[in-house]
Structure 1
Amino acid sequence: MSSQKWAMQYINGEWKKGSSEKTVENINPYTNETITTIPSANAEDLNEAYQAAEDARSNWEGLPPAEVEGYFDKLITVMKDRKSEIIDWLTKEAGSTQVKAQVEFEAAMAITKEASSFPTRMTGQILPSNTPGKENRVYRAPKGVVGIIGPWNFPFHLAMRSAAPALATGNTIVIKPASDTPVTSGLLIADLMEEAGFPKGTVNVVVGRGSEIGDEFVTHPSAKLISFTGSTEVGSHIGELAGKHIKDTALELGGNNAMLVLDDADIEKAVEAGTFGNFLHQGQICMSLNRIIIHENIHDKFVDAFREKVEGLKAGNPEDQDTVIGPLINKGAVERLQDEIQKTKDQGAELITGGNVNGNVLEPTLFTHVTNDMPAAKNEMFGPVAVIIKVKNEEEAIQVANDTPYGLSGSVFTENIERGVKVAKQVKTGMIHVNDQSVNDEAHVAFGGEKESGLGRFGGQWALDKFTTVKWIGVMDGYREFPF
């Protein structure tokens, strides 16, 4: 693909310049160099994209399952062939380390493969009726046009997590990628699908500022479902707009995820898991561990081991194979975290390692003597900051874990698996893992949160249900008699 296309919109199978006078600057978060400047889409471009998706919908919906599967087979091949390019873009645009970029590519591949099975899983039902001579048929159908708002942290996978299932179930799509990652959360996906031969109009991408087209993207009459991954604050606004216009939503929002390390836990294994769960992609993951809750009997040993592990993590250039901590997405994220760190110190927490900044790289940071009401524990940090909270017993650990408006993911460490399951059931969260960390995503399993962490589920049958609707058709064999 020519480099000029990365500054274009993708509408109705064509690459075209955005019509707005405003631009989106695509900046490498490690070097702070401009990758490309993209003329933004405006309301006219947005309407054109939705209209293209609307026009393409009936033909796409009517294709035989094998033909749709053929497009996905080709897409999977294209993704494999262009893997190194995808990883390169994730590194230079999202600040992904090599490990994180590899993890993200594999996750995106998994959801694409899972979605490729959906065309033959669009099943209905025939149910009995209480009316003699009648049967009840339930047919499954696409929702229509799906609007997808992509995030910047796992941009390729999390945009594909909606795009692939939506298309595979017969919908057409319009993607609004994150302004920080317009290529990996949108334009690159369009380019891959174009190479795979997806018909024009089925996939559309509009790059634009939220202030200019954000609300209109949600309220446009063509959009029947809005899928958003991002902050709870923005998700709440999207949900409000969608509700006003009677639109369905899939909202995967923020998290304040806890690892509960019980008194019988394997400390070494918990440290290894906690390190990965805290610091993959600099902690910029909705599922990242935000709090580690430790039983007082093993607290000191855990802290010593965890500190040693954290101090061994290399921070710096994400292009280096051994870098674990790359850059935060932008300077604003660095400044926000520095403020949260200072406030947490001021409230009495002990900073035992990290906290230094070099450009947009924040060293892995570890706090002890933290209480649940301090900023670094109370707020979703979304950065390479770990906090350790000491508790007296299992009951207090559960209470502290639940003392948050969020409920996305979590972790329990114990040598007694059934004890771990019992504790996991008491943590109010959509996902939780025993003897593992919190960052898990399997394409065939229900993914989503409770409370302020979102609505709906992605993955497997749950994604198929979210991107489709059902219709009841009652069929009489003969005619019934009525009382009047």
Structure 2
Amino acid sequence: MTPKTKSFITPEKWQGKVLFSDWEAAEGGKIDVANPANGQTIASVGFGISTDITRAAKEASVAQRAWAKEQPETRKAILDKAADLLEANAEELIPWIMQDSGSTRIKAGIEIEHGAAFIRHAASLATQPMTIPLPDMEGRPNYARRVPHGVVGVISPFNFPLVLSVRAIAPALALGNAVVHKPDPRTPISGGIIIARIFEEAGLPQGLLHIIPGGASAGEALCTTPDIAMVSFTGSANAGSRVGELCGKHLKKVQLELGGKNTLIILDDADIAVAASNAAWGAFLHQGQICIATGLVLAHDSIADEIAKTLATRAQKLPVGDPLSDQVALGPIISDNQIKTIQDIVNDAVKKGARLLTGGTPTDRFYPATVLAGVTPDMQAFHKEIFGPVACIASFASDEQAVELANMSEYGLAAGVISGSRDRALEIGEQLNVGHLHINDQTVNAGPFAPFGGRGKSGNGTRIGGPADIAEFTQWLWVSVQDEATAYPF
């Protein structure tokens, strides 16, 4: 069933189309968008292939030249208006996000709220000073200025499609770039259409933002076409490795924000109930389909069983089903293949001795909140990113062992430490190989003012958000000035 719409989303504008300089059919044709909760088609969108990306990049390159010369105040005003439009139309857009991505109403509302905050932060970047003086050299004045790359390619995932798209699109535009964006074809409305519409209505000049849902060939074209100077990618480590390989081969800047097996360490002086609530939120929010989900709970030996029992009790109270009923805490898993991946990891853990305290059996696309106790390093559940609502509980005997176990991961995205002593938690946390550290909180934390990214398999050391945006979406231009040219002895 297509969501009830007002005038803003205007499906007749974009049904079966992609956004070039205007809405048009793609050479790749079109695809249906299905609600993962029930399989029903909610809309159709255009589906881009490599030639569509090449065309979009060329058009964006032409439009970007004038945009880079536009007054910063003008760019800021357009972005601020886009954020206002996103919030003003929230009640219309939330049902689209729920059906497109399988989000609960609460999670869809978070996407609107955070999406607007990311856009407003990006707007503020447009008017930041971009030039610094340099010491005179050989008697001539010198300065350095941050300048846009040109065209930025953005590839975003299905899980938080609105937020994880605008957090790259908005700063790229604010800083004078044009954007070619490939949202995940499973969530092209949340990750693409909504964004296109708010910027259209905000007055963004045509040709600066292209929205091309597509598959692997479209993504690879973003990394190889010469008209794109930088690629911002959010997704799995495997796909990110391919993006990094192609961008490196074609000498493009690449920003990679990848997956995580994020650890929540619970020390022996922690409040059991509070710690379990943190673990539940971190592990089960949006069915665990979050790169910063709490993937491993490390609890001290003396409290591990009580944490597991308390967490299982909380998990049993979380209803699972179609988010449109507004009676559920967990919605659907994005695909049947992902259901199988989750189940394989759970089965492996149980086979190797983990205790399944609750959950562990899916119904169609719905996977209940699941708790595995007694998880050990020989199990997939200890190391693998599950991307499902599975809390994996392992134990440790000392603070030193907690650090050792946490740092066994190939990933390095987020970690949390919960303790009655802030200083003790900080001492442990600062030994962890991660990009985000949260003291007395779980791992699912993000915001427009923080540099977001990880280490190891979680990224290539780049960051997105906050003070990192200017560094990522612009580059230095060094200028030296003389009143007259001088003669050289050659």
Give the alignment's TM-score, normalised by structure 2.
0.95
Q: Does 1:19 align with 2:24?
A: no
- Going from structure 1 to structure 2, the CA distance change for 1:293 and 1:336 (only over 3 Å counts) comes to same
Note if contact 1:179-1:209 (Cα within 8 Å) is conserved in structure 2.
Answer: yes
> Secondary structure of 1:127's partner?
strand
Query: What is the aligned partner in structure 1 of residue 170 from structure 2?
Result: 164
Equivalent residue for 2:4? none
Corresponding pairs, count: 480
Q: Which amino acid counterpart does residue 94 of structure 1 have in structure 2?
A: S
Runs of 4+ in 1 over 4 A off after TM superposition: 476-484
The residue type paired with residue 15 of structure 1 is W
Is the deviation greater in 185-194 or in 468-477?
468-477
Answer yes or no: is 1:70 the counterpart of 2:70: no
Q: State whether structure 2 residue 119 is matched by structure 1 residue 112.
A: yes
Q: For 2:393, what is the secondary structure of its paired residue?
A: strand
- Distance, in Å, in 1 between the alignment partners of 2:50 and 2:241 is 22
2:325 is paired with a residue whose SS is coil
* 1:206 to 2:212 alignment: yes
Indicate the residue corresponding to 1:3 in structure 2.
11
Helix, strand or coil at the partner of 1:31: coil
Q: Which runs of 5+ in 1 are unaligned?
A: none
1:300 aligns with 2:300: no
Shift of 1:373: 2.7
Amino acid at match of 2:99: K
CA distance in 2, matches of 1:374, 1:148: 35
SS in 2 for 1:141: strand
Residue 283 (structure 1) aligned with residue 288 (structure 2): yes
> 1:95 matched to which residue of 2?
102
- Could you tell me how far apart the structure 2 residues matched to 1:105 and 1:194 are? 17
User: Shift of the alpha carbon at 1:479?
Assistant: 8.0
Following the alignment from structure 1 to structure 2, what is the Cα–Cα distance between the partners of residues 81 and 479?
56
1:10 maps to a residue whose letter is L
Q: 1:85 aligns with which of 73, 82, 92?
A: 92
Deviates more, 1:37-46 or 1:47-56: 37-46
Instruction: Identify which of 321, 327, 331 aligns with 1:316.
Output: 321
1:56 aligns with 2:63: yes
State the identity %.
35
Match of 2:36 in 1: 29
Distance in 2 of aligned mates of 1:338 and 1:99: 26
Measure, in 1, the Cα distance between the counterparts of 2:52 and 2:308. 54
AA aligned to 2:352 is Q
User: In the alignment, which of 361, 367, 380 is matched to residue 362 of structure 1?
Assistant: 367
Are the equivalent residues in 2 in contact too, given 1:98–1:320 (CA < 8 A)?
Answer: no
Give how far 1:207 is off.
Answer: 1.9
- The structural deviation recorded for 1:319 is 2.1
Q: Which residue of 1 aligns with 2:471?
A: 465
Question: Tell me, what secondary structure is at the counterpart of 1:120?
Answer: coil
Match among 223, 231, 234 for residue 236 of structure 2: 231
Decide whether the 8 Å contact of 2:36 with 2:100 is kept in 1. Answer: yes
Whether the aligned pair in 1 keeps the contact of 2:87 and 2:112 (CA below 8 Å) is no
Residue 134 (structure 1) shift: 2.7
- The answer to whether the aligner puts 1:241 opposite 2:253 as a matched pair is no
1:480 Cα shift? 8.2
Q: Deviations over 1:239-293 (max 9, x none)?
A: 0000001100111001000000011112121111111111110000000000000
Q: How far 1:478 moved relative to its partner?
A: 7.5
Verify the 8 A CA contact 2:48 2:214 in the aligned structure 1: yes
- 2: CA distance, partners of 1:38 / 1:375: 37
1:250 corresponds in structure 2 to 255
Q: Deviations over 1:398-427 (max 9, x none)?
A: 111110110000100011111111111101
Amino acid across the alignment from 1:319: L
- The question of whether the paired residues in 1 share the 8 Å contact of 2:284 and 2:389 is answered with yes
Alpha-carbon distance, 1:465 to partner: 1.2
Which residue among 390, 394, 402 is the counterpart of 1:389?
394
Deviation at 1:471, TM superposition (A): 0.9
SS in 2 for 1:264: coil
Distance 2:485 2:344 in 1: 73
* Contact 2:46/2:212, CA 8 A, preserved across alignment: no
1-structure distance, mates of 2:116, 2:483: 47
Distance 1:432 1:177 in 2: 29
Helix, strand or coil: the match of 2:127? Answer: helix
- Normalization by structure 1: what TM-score? 0.96
User: Is the 8 Å Cα contact of residues 123 and 139 (structure 1) preserved in structure 2?
Assistant: yes
Instruction: Mark the CA change 1:58 to 1:39 in structure 2 (over 3 Å): closer, same or farther.
Output: closer
Deviation at 1:103, TM superposition (A): 1.6
Contact 1:412/1:434 (<8 A) preserved: yes
Name the stretch that deviates more: 277-286 or 261-270: 261-270
What one-letter code is carried by the residue in structure 2 that aligns with 1:109? Answer: A
CA deviation after TM superposition for structure 1 residue 136, in Å = 2.4
| SS, match of residue 357 in structure 1 | coil
Q: Mark the CA change 1:296 to 1:182 in structure 2 (over 3 Å): closer, same or farther.
A: same
Partner of residue 137, structure 1: 143
Higher deviation after alignment, 226-235 or 259-268 = 259-268
Q: C-alpha distance in 2, partners of 1:63/1:453?
A: 36
Give 1:481 deviation, angstroms.
9.8
1:122 offset after TM fit, Å? Answer: 4.2
For residue 323 of structure 2, give the secondary structure of its aligned residue in structure 1.
Answer: coil
Tell me the residue number matched to 1:335. Answer: 340
Q: CA deviation at 1:7?
A: 2.1
- For 2:307 and 2:391, the matched residues in 1 are separated by 13
| SS in structure 1 at match of 2:199 | helix
What does residue 345 of structure 1 align with? 350
SS in 2 for 1:155: coil
Question: Cα deviation per residue 1:57-79 (whole Å; 9 max; x = unaligned)?
Answer: 11111111111112112212211
1:450 to 449, 455, 460: 455
> Mean Cα displacement is larger for which, 236-245 or 82-91?
82-91
Question: Which secondary structure state, in structure 2, belongs to the residue aligned with residue 412 of structure 1?
Answer: strand
Deviations 1:161-184 (Å, cap 9, x if unpaired)? 100000000000011110110111
- Cα–Cα, structure 1 residues 479 and 199, in superposed 2: closer, same or farther, change >3 Å? closer
Asked if the contact 2:119–2:170 (Cα under 8 Å) also holds between the matched residues in 1, the reply is yes
